[in-house]
Structures are given as structure tokens and as C-alpha cells.
Structure 1
Amino acid sequence: MEISVTKLDGKSAGKVKVSDAVFGLEPRADLLQRMVNYQLAKKQQGTHVTQGRSDVARTGARLYRQKGTGKARHHAASAPQFRGGGKAHGPVARSHAIDLPKKVRALALRHALSAKAQSESIVVLDDMTSDGKTKSLAAQFEALGLKNALFIGGETIDANFKNAAANLAHIDVLPIQGINVYDILRRNTLVLSKAAVEALEERFK
């Protein structure tokens, strides 16, 4: 299949031929969901923790005698029912990551690219360069109809382009190494540089 290539000023720059094995698959929602769950689970810090009964610094001495008080039989003040006591069944520091085979992750990325291609939400730019001014870059994006987009460049991103785009809402810029399913799906439009398209073709060859 072929995708039209455009410049930031809106002029046509020809077409680029892309592989159907990367951009022409029938998208599977189950694969995309599994990949998004994998990414979001891995993203969680898992550092939330509370002090349990054995962690609080309180006396272990019996509060009062066992019998004859007419009250419940209590022991240490660190029990959860007392103020200052430990938390019962509280969260502990752990990893939230789940397993997903490498081949499934690679396939999910191809399905995400194919989903964007099928919905005609892919734009290929001839080059991603800028004078570093956010105002002029925003005007170019508006002319191209890019209000909510993920930009994927080559191995390196032009510093002026990246800095100017960083001030724009709903615009993300990543190098080709950072391309991922979650960011592709969370933005309306996927914008690839010609270098990014070549890198993806080489990656899934």
C-alpha cells in the first residue's frame, strides 16, 4: 500500500510504499487491549505501602489483665482496632507488571499501526524540522489539521522541533525507539517521518 508524503508547509512530497505486513493487517482489539494493559501495569510504581501490626512502634505489653474487667481480652496496642495500631491487610510494595510474550508485543504494535492506517489517521512527513518557535509550528499543525497527534521521528529528533512542540497541548514527540501501542492509540493522529517509516519497515522485515 502507498501513503502520501507531505511537508510541514502542506505541500505534497510524493508517496511512500509501505508493507502490508506492518500497515495492512486487520486490527484485533483483543491484542491491543492486552498490550495496553501490559504497558499500564508496568508503568505503576507499586511503592504504596502501609505499616502493619509488626511495623508500628508500640508496646507489646498487655493493656490490662485478662479476666475480671468485663471488657474484651486485648493484648498489644499495635492491634489494628486501636488508634496508632497497624493497618490490617494494607498495601505492600510490589511489582504490578504482567507477562506478555515478546512476539505478542511486536504483533500488537503492527496491529496498532494497521488500525491507524485503516482509519486513515496516519500522516507521513518528509522532514521534522523547525525554527524553534512554537507559534509558527502551531500554525503549521493547524493548517495540516493536527490538533491531537503523536509524532514519531528517526533515531534523533531535531531539538528545535522537539522544544517547540513541547509547549503544545495534546502533541507528543518521540524518537522511533520510543514508539509504543499506548501512545499510538491515545492520540487521534499518528505522524511518522520518512525515517520512522523506513525504520519500522526494517524492524519488521
Structure 2
Amino acid sequence: MAEAKVYDAQSGESSTLSLSGPQFESEPRNHVIHRAVVTELDARRRYTASTKGRVDVTGSGAKLYRQKGTGRARAGDIKPPNRVGGGTWGGPSPKPDRYGKRINRKEARAAFFEALSDKAGNGNIHLVDSLSFDAPSTKRAKEILSGMGVEGRTLLVVTDSDQNAELSFRNLPEVELVYSGDYGVYEVMRATNVVFSREAYDRVAAIGQRRAE
């Protein structure tokens, strides 16, 4: 059974917590995790790339000059890609569209649990008790990470809505702070360590318990 390191931000004491449940004991499958990451990133695209084809640009559709007898190459209307002001050939779709990356809910949930299980199996899940700040303090945030032994690594810090915590961690380039429910497989996998506040961990544990029931 995997274990998480628990750090008390007030006293500086450390302990361990056994991680149980499907969210920490699932067998990671690379192809499922990959599908989830690709789908998540696809959903975040803005899809604003657009070009005008020859049917979209302004211009007459009449043939420019007669077919023979002019000494020039044959030509149709004024809107082909090889003419100045003509339509684009081979560019993005004239109208923004999605690439159709999809994943069903059951597989997405499994991928999330498997990503957490991968971190748990490697000992990269950490908990912080009393992760609260009376006032924003980047210095205090660095002290907490240093006390946990994870300072300088790529971190995903998961907490409940705490503006002071967000303001404290956001100046640390190696840290990405997210709120419960606002992160997915991509955030979990790109981080070396995942640090949960006690409240955020309880939320994840409750999800696994509901699934087990």
C-alpha cells in the first residue's frame, strides 16, 4: 500500500498516511492516461485559427480573358491561391472547428485515478496540515516546501479556495497552485510531486469512497 508524507506546517513535524482506495491503488495504463491528456489539451484550445479560401475572398468569378490567342497562360477567375489577394490553399479550416478528441466519462475518471496512483506508487504524494496563510507570504510558502523536502522540484499544490495561499505560491516558478476540482490528468502528470492540503485530500478520498460504494 502506498503512503503519503504528511507535514504539519505549524509544528514542522512529519508523519505518514496510508493511501487506500481506487484513486491511489489503480494500475496505471499509459494509453488511457495519454488519451485523457490529449483530450484535456484539445478542450483548452481556442480554435481561432482561420483562413479564407477562394470561395470566401471578394472578386469576380468571371474568366479573366479568353482561353487562346493572348500568348498568356490559361486563367480562370481572379481568386486562385497563386494570385495576389486570392484565397488560401491548404490553410486552417475557413471556420474554426474542433479536432474531435473525445473520451467518455468512465475512462476519464479512470485516467485521473491512474495518474494519482502513479504518483502515489512513486512516493510523490504529500499532504500539508494547516496549509493556511493569515497574509500572503512567499517566504512562508518556501519554508513549507523546504520543510517537506520538495523545494526546487516541479510541484502541483492543490488546496481549497484560499487567496492568501495562491498569492504566496504564485511567485515560485516551480509551483502550480490549483483549487480542488480545477485540475486534471495533465496537471498531475506534468508535476514531479503533488501536494494536497488536508481539505483537498479529503475531497479526493471522498470521490474514491463514493466509487467504491
- Shared fold (TM-score greater than 0.5)? yes
Amino acid at match of 1:88: W
Which of 148, 153, 157 pairs up with 1:151? Answer: 157
- Do the aligned residues in 1 keep the contact of 2:4 with 2:17 (CA within 8 Å)? yes
Q: For residues 33 and 8 of structure 1, what CA distance do their matches in structure 2 show?
A: 35
Superposed displacement of residue 12, structure 1: 2.6
- Which whole-Å deviations, capped at 9, do the CAs of 1:94-153 have from their partners, x for residues lacking one? 013411110000001110110001111111111221231212322332342232200111
Which of 136, 142, 146 pairs up with 2:146? Answer: 142
The within-5 A match list for 1:16-27 is 16-27=17-28
Q: For residues 128 and 202 of structure 2, what CA distance do their matches in structure 1 show?
A: 12
The within-5 A match list for 1:116-127 is 116-127=119-130
- Do the aligned residues in 2 keep the contact of 1:46 with 1:96 (CA within 8 Å)? no
SS at match of 2:111: helix
Q: TM-score, normalised by structure 2?
A: 0.87
Structure 1 runs of 4+ aligned residues shifted over 6 Å read none
The within-5 A match list for 1:102-117 is 102-117=105-120
- Do the aligned residues in 2 keep the contact of 1:63 with 1:75 (CA within 8 Å)? yes
Q: For residues 201 and 161 of structure 1, what CA distance do their matches in structure 2 show?
A: 22
Q: Percent identity?
A: 28
Q: Which runs of 5+ in 1 are unaligned?
A: none
Amino acid at match of 1:65: R
Q: TM-score, normalised by structure 1?
A: 0.90
- Do the aligned residues in 1 keep the contact of 2:131 with 2:197 (CA within 8 Å)? yes
RMSD between aligned alpha carbons? 1.9
Q: Is 1:62 aligned with 2:63?
A: yes
Q: In structure 2, do the counterparts of structure 1 residues 97 and 43 end up closer, same or farther at CA, with 3 Å as the change threshold?
A: farther
Q: For residues 15 and 143 of structure 1, what CA distance do their matches in structure 2 show?
A: 15
Superposed displacement of residue 15, structure 1: 4.2
Aligned position for 1:89:
90
Q: Which runs of 5+ in 2 are unaligned?
A: none
Q: For residues 107 and 20 of structure 1, what CA distance do their matches in structure 2 show?
A: 12
Aligned position for 1:182:
186
Q: Is 1:99 aligned with 2:102?
A: yes
SS at match of 2:145: helix
Q: For residues 200 and 27 of structure 1, what CA distance do their matches in structure 2 show?
A: 17
Q: For residues 104 and 137 of structure 1, what CA distance do their matches in structure 2 show?
A: 35
Q: For residues 127 and 143 of structure 1, what CA distance do their matches in structure 2 show?
A: 14
Q: For residues 176 and 13 of structure 1, what CA distance do their matches in structure 2 show?
A: 23
Amino acid at match of 1:55: D
